[in-house]
Structure 1
């Protein structure tokens, strides 16, 4: 028998649960389906969120032939069979899983059929299509994001499966504790496939009581679902979304959010990304406001790398809390980016003659190093002279922030130097 998640796939657009932004009343996929004016599309989102379900529901509502292939495992011959069917019947809906891995030969074969509308392609992928999918395919498709389902939507589907006599578990006398149902709905992290298949495992592996009732407890639910609190693919977009949220939470000084995203990365076992991102944050977002944070973050990262998980979580948590609550400054980072922008725009200018290398014979004849004033010859260790090229001599890249005592002290010295430089000695 096929898995419960397969059997419970919606047969029409009305049976789709969740994804109201696409299939709700008046929304784009429902309008296209009801009007039978379909265009090829790409559905992208985490696993188990209903990409295949939406495709089968579209086919069921429109009564078009529906075929499923995989861009990796299916070959060109498989596509030729679908194309031949399309020529016979007029229109075939082709669900192509892992569409981001479609090679050029298969793509070139499909394109003419997409152009003339004989094949309505519904590509399914967990990757961001704007990054991963060939522009030739992407330009011929509408792109729709499929989102993780909320626990209430998952629970609704679980209830339907328990009550459905034909496709679900309704033929069995089943009693599922509220706590168990809640666990199936929430602990899968919006992955409906995982929830349904775990429910089926719990029901079919539990012995009936004396009244022939299968009683599913929270303990059974936990055993069958195991631990899957969120969808995380180290090579996918979800991974970079979590890393982005992690850095932005630290930048925004939200300790609790930062620890949440750290926990997600720890659960994914991705020490390398955590370590790299923390060191970047220490210098990009904390910077001169608390220079010691960089050194302590590096120490915490090195300790975590030596310890490995699970103990690595301890120095990492220390670093995250400190970075969250440290004063923030991106002044050094912004300053070097501004300088790089000038260089890349061709505004480099010539090095002033008095700063040029003078460690060779006849350098003075060429004007190299002449009139250079050695700062250490002065009591203050500083002397006013021009260092920037003439074309940039008034340029100011570094804009200090008053977010930490260290940077305030630097700003004070900076301002004094700038005032003195207004009247250079040469």
Structure 2
């Protein structure tokens, strides 16, 4: 379902004020068009939220003879209260977290700050901090490896400071991630490796890589023939590390973005040497 337009929400509110059977038609309610407009905007296209806001505002100013004079101050309080207590188990909450991540991934600073602000107004730092940490490693990743350290430092500061000051370090890293080069190559690589593991591939371990620190290990052929890379020039020597059935696999597909350019260069050189 899509959000209602403001005009449709206002139509719903007027109907509720006059409907004697299902609405507030039996009440004598004094409420301005400006106040109704504020309710419509605060409901953000949610019909149920609009009716709830209207009811809350009326009951907050009700009199014994079913009269209510609803002023702007009362409506404003109800709208702000709703913004601070949106349903954290509902779609809107998870949609805000999703919109925050997608805006950072898309390098849109202003949209990212908007969704961060809406989440912070919800008053729960933990899921916001968790999502920012995920973004640092999922969407920025190897293109800017230091971003993870920055984000975790900002999260620690935010948790120690609490709101409202927590907004400051979190806004800094949000902007930093937005404007950072992006790469999801590590995230995609581990998912491919997990898929192979779950499909039963690579169950064996090459004998020369197996633990040889116990009696009888050499008799079983374990650890024999292992080449210690530090004994070779540049700390690298060609030898088999992957299981036999995965020997040609390439999980990591580097992107030449930001700091990952250098990692891609090294990876490609090593892969060519290994093939030779």
Task: Report the TM-score when normalising by structure 1.
Answer: 0.57
Name the residue aligned to 1:195: 53
Name the residue aligned to 1:111: none
Question: Helix, strand or coil for the counterpart of 2:140?
Answer: helix
C-alpha separation in 2, matches of 1:195 and 1:222: 10
1:319-346 C-alpha deviation (Å, 9 max, x unpaired): 2111122111111111111111111111
Q: Which one of the candidate residues 160, 177, 184 is aligned to 2:15?
A: 160
C-alpha separation in 2, matches of 1:300 and 1:294: 10
Are 1:188 and 1:230, in contact at CA under 8 Å, matched by a contact in 2?
Answer: no
Following TM superposition, by how much is the alpha carbon of 1:245 offset from its aligned partner in structure 2, in angstroms? 2.0
RMSD of aligned alpha carbons: 2.8
Matched, 1:413 2:271: no
Question: Helix, strand or coil for the counterpart of 1:234?
Answer: coil
Q: Which one of the candidate residues 294, 305, 309 is aligned to 2:148?
A: 294
Structure 1 residues 374 and 382, CA, compared in 2 at 3 Å: closer, same or farther?
Answer: same
Name the residue aligned to 2:96: 242
C-alpha separation in 1, matches of 2:31 and 2:201: 75
Following TM superposition, by how much is the alpha carbon of 1:151 offset from its aligned partner in structure 2, in angstroms? 2.2
Note the 1:252-267 alignment, pairs <5 A.
Answer: 252-267=106-121
Structure 1 residues 226 and 318, CA, compared in 2 at 3 Å: closer, same or farther?
Answer: closer
Matched, 1:273 2:131: no
Question: Helix, strand or coil for the counterpart of 1:253?
Answer: coil
Name the residue aligned to 2:236: 382
C-alpha separation in 2, matches of 1:226 and 1:326: 34
C-alpha separation in 2, matches of 1:314 and 1:152: 37
Following TM superposition, by how much is the alpha carbon of 1:224 offset from its aligned partner in structure 2, in angstroms? 5.7
Name the residue aligned to 1:125: none
C-alpha separation in 1, matches of 2:29 and 2:158: 51
Name the residue aligned to 1:400: 254
Note the 1:202-213 alignment, pairs <5 A.
Answer: none
Gap regions ≥5 residues in structure 1: 1-144, 206-213
Following TM superposition, by how much is the alpha carbon of 1:163 offset from its aligned partner in structure 2, in angstroms? 5.6
Are 1:349 and 1:392, in contact at CA under 8 Å, matched by a contact in 2?
Answer: no
Are 1:188 and 1:194, in contact at CA under 8 Å, matched by a contact in 2?
Answer: no
Name the residue aligned to 1:339: 193
Structure 1 residues 165 and 356, CA, compared in 2 at 3 Å: closer, same or farther?
Answer: closer
Following TM superposition, by how much is the alpha carbon of 1:418 offset from its aligned partner in structure 2, in angstroms? 0.7
Following TM superposition, by how much is the alpha carbon of 1:402 offset from its aligned partner in structure 2, in angstroms? 1.1
Structure 1 residues 346 and 391, CA, compared in 2 at 3 Å: closer, same or farther?
Answer: same
Higher RCO by CA contacts (8 Å cutoff, separation 6 or greater)? 2
C-alpha separation in 1, matches of 2:104 and 2:165: 22
Structure 1 residues 219 and 356, CA, compared in 2 at 3 Å: closer, same or farther?
Answer: closer
Question: Which of 275-284 and 357-366 deviates more?
Answer: 357-366
Structure 1 residues 311 and 230, CA, compared in 2 at 3 Å: closer, same or farther?
Answer: closer
Q: Which entry has the higher C-alpha Rg, 1 or 2?
A: 1
C-alpha separation in 2, matches of 1:224 and 1:421: 66
Question: Which of 223-232 and 385-394 deviates more?
Answer: 223-232
Q: Which one of the candidate residues 164, 180, 183 is aligned to 2:38?
A: 183
Structure 1 residues 249 and 387, CA, compared in 2 at 3 Å: closer, same or farther?
Answer: same
**Higher-helix-fraction structure:** 2
Are 1:258 and 1:320, in contact at CA under 8 Å, matched by a contact in 2?
Answer: yes
C-alpha separation in 2, matches of 1:225 and 1:390: 63
1:224-282 C-alpha deviation (Å, 9 max, x unpaired): 65543487222333322222222222222222222222222212111110111111111
